[in-house]
Amino acid sequence: MVRLITHNLLACHAKGCTSNNFPLQFKDVQVELREAEFNPDFLRGFIPRLEWGALVDAARQLGDTSLPAEPPEMLDVEFLQKLHHVLLEVHVEEGAMICPNCNHVYPISNGIPNMLLAEHEIG
Amino acid sequence: MSRPELQAPPEIYYGDIEAKKYTNNSRIQQIQADMTYRALELLNLPSDQSAFLLDVGCGSGLSGEILDEQGHVWVGVDVAPSMLEVALDREVEGDLFLQDIGQGFGFRPGSFDGAISVSVIQWLLNAETSHPTSSPPHRLTRFFTTLHAALRNPSRAVLQFYPTSDDQIQLITSIAQKAGFGGGVVVDYPNSNKARKVFLCLFVGGGGSTQQIPKGLEAEEDVGQVHARFEASRQRQRKRDKNGKRKSIKDKDWILRKKELYRRRGKEDVPRDSKYTGRKRKTVF
C-alpha cells in the first residue's frame, strides 16, 4: 500500500544519510490499482507540497506516463483526475525501495515497507 | 498484572494472538475511538477540509478508521508486524509502514498537517538493549526531532499516553521542547483514576501566543452532555432512590433491553413482552 503520495514524502533516514537521500528508487515492484474517492480540494491543497520531478520519475518507473514533466498552470479537472490516479490509486504491493545515496534497501512486502534500521544505522 | 510495556517490547507483546484480541475487544475499541475523537478535537484542524495526517503507532488501524470516516488521508506507522497484518485484513485506507518510531522518521520536512497517537509513547520509555541508541532519552529525542521536522508550520501533534509517574511526563515534555515543540500536557478528568487521560498537545510554529494549550475536560460539567467521554461508568453510577436504598439494576427497562438484544441475535424462545413483564410480585403469596 505504498502509494506515490507517501513515496513522494519519503526520504532515507539511516545514520549520516542526509543529502541526495530522496527520492527512494523502486526495484522489482508489483503494482496494484485500487479505486479511491476523488477529492479535488485535497489535491489542490497538496500540490505545493509535492516534489514534482520525483513524482513524475516515480510514476514513469511504475509505467504510468500520464503526467506532464512540469505541473501545469491551470488545474483543470482532467489533470486533477490524472494526478488523483497516480497519487492515490497506484499501490506498490511487493518489491523494494533503495536509497540513492547509501543504497539502503527498504523491502516492501504485502504492501508494507519495512523501514526498520539495524543498530549501527540509527542516527 | 503489570503494564504491557513492562512485559515485552511492542513488536513481541503484540504478537498474532494479542493483536487479534486487542482489535476485537469492544471495550478497547470504544476507548480508542473516544480518544481518537478527542485527539482530533485537540488537533483543531480546519473543518470541512481533508488533511494529511500521521498516525504514530497506528496498530490495527482502529484510530485510522475514524480518520477515514472524517475524510482525512493518513499514513500509519507501527513496529508490530502482527498488528499491521490485522490492519491489512481490515482493509484500512491509509498507507502503512513497519517502523520503529524510536529510530526516527524519514519523512520530508513539512509533509503532514498534523499527527495523532493513541496510547503509544509510553512504549519508548523502556530500554531494550544496552546500546546507546536504545536508551529512552535518545529514542525520544530522535522521535520528537524527526516528528517536528515532518510536520508543517503551523500544525499540531496530539499524543495520548499512559505515564506511570510525573517524572516520565517531565522527561517527555522537556525532550519535546528541546526538539522545538511548543505546547504542553492536557489532562482530561484529572480527579478520576479510571477516566483520567493524559494528552501531550504539541505545537509547531504558530507565532507566539496564537496557539493556546486547550483545557482538559472536567467530570462535573460534562456529565450528561454529548461530549462526556470515558465517563460511561460514572454515568451508570447506581442511582439511589429517595429512601437511600439502591434501585434494582434489573428493572423493567433492563429486562426489555436484554430481550431485545436476544431477539436481534436470533435467539429462540425469547418470551414475548406483556404488561406482566418485569412486574413486581405481590408480597403476599
DSSP string, B87-144: HHHTT-SSEEEE--GGG---BPTT-EEEEEEES-GGGGGS-SSSSGGGSHHHHHHHHH
A20 to chain B, any CB pair closer than 8 A? The answer is: no
pLDDT recorded at residue B175: 93
* Mean local confidence (pLDDT), A62-74: 83
* Whole-number Å distance between alpha carbons of A32 and B75: 18
Domains, chain B, in order of start with CATH, read 4-221 (3.40.50.150)
How far the first Cα of chain A sits from its last, in Å, is 26
* Whole-number Å distance between alpha carbons of B28 and B39: 16
A49 to chain B, any CB pair closer than 8 A? The answer is: yes
Query: Taking CB atoms and an 8 Å limit, are A117 and B96 in contact across chains?
Result: no
Look at residue A91 and give its three-state secondary structure.
strand
pLDDT recorded at residue A102: 87
* Mean local confidence (pLDDT), A78-83: 88
pLDDT recorded at residue A74: 79
Domain ranges of chain A: 4-121
Q: Which of A41, A114, A116 is the closest to B49 by Cβ?
A: A41
Cβ-Cβ pairs closer than 8 A, A with B, add up to 82
A18 to chain B, any CB pair closer than 8 A? The answer is: no
Reported ipTM: 0.89
Q: How confident is the model over A42-55, as pLDDT tens digits?
A: 888 888 888 898 89
* Mean local confidence (pLDDT), A86-90: 88
Place of cell 483545557: B215
- Residue B11's closest chain A neighbor by CA? A116
Mean pLDDT of chain A: 87
Kindly report the number of other CB atoms within 10 A of residue A18's CB atom.
13
Q: How many CA atoms lie within 13 A of B43 on its CB side?
A: 29
Instruction: Return the higher-pLDDT residue of A72 and A55.
Output: A55
Task: Evaluate whether A113 touches A2 at the Cβ level (below 8 Å).
Answer: yes
Cα distances (angstroms) measured from residue B53 to each of A9, B59, B73 = 12, 15, 6
A 54-83: CB under 8 A from B: none
Cα distances (angstroms) measured from residue B245 to each of B166, B238, B242 = 40, 10, 7
- Residue A101, class by beta-carbon neighbours within 10 Å (0-12 exposed, 13-18 middle, 19+ buried)? middle
Bridge partner residues of B78 (DSSP): B98
Query: Taking CB atoms and an 8 Å limit, are B96 and A111 in contact across chains?
Result: yes
Where on the phi/psi map is residue A110: left (φ > 0), alpha (ψ -120 to 50), or beta? left
* Whole-number Å distance between alpha carbons of B232 and B21: 22
* Whole-number Å distance between alpha carbons of B34 and B227: 10
* Mean local confidence (pLDDT), A56-82: 85
Q: Which residues of A touch B11 (CB under 8 A)?
A: none
Bridge partner residues of B97 (DSSP): B77
User: Which positions ≥6 away from B175 have C-beta within 8 Å?
Assistant: B137, B140, B141, B144
Q: Which of B75, B100, B146 is the closest to A6 by Cβ?
A: B75
Bridge partner residues of B197 (DSSP): B188
pLDDT recorded at residue B146: 92
Q: How many residues does chain B have?
A: 285
Q: Which residues of A touch B52 (CB under 8 A)?
A: 5, 42, 46, 49
Positions of chain B with pLDDT under 70: 1, 206-211, 219-247, 285
Nearest CA-CA distance, residue B191 and chain A, Å: 40
Rg (alpha carbons) of chain A, rounded to whole number: 15
Which one of 3.40.50.970, 1.10.3470.10, 2.20.25.10, 3.90.1420.10 gives the CATH number of domain A4-121?
2.20.25.10
A98 to chain B, any CB pair closer than 8 A? The answer is: no
Query: Taking CB atoms and an 8 Å limit, are A123 and B104 in contact across chains?
Result: yes
- Residue B133, class by beta-carbon neighbours within 10 Å (0-12 exposed, 13-18 middle, 19+ buried)? middle
pLDDT recorded at residue B224: 38
pLDDT recorded at residue B114: 92
* Whole-number Å distance between alpha carbons of B52 and B158: 14
Nearest CA-CA distance, residue B183 and chain A, Å: 25
* Residue A123 pLDDT > 80: no
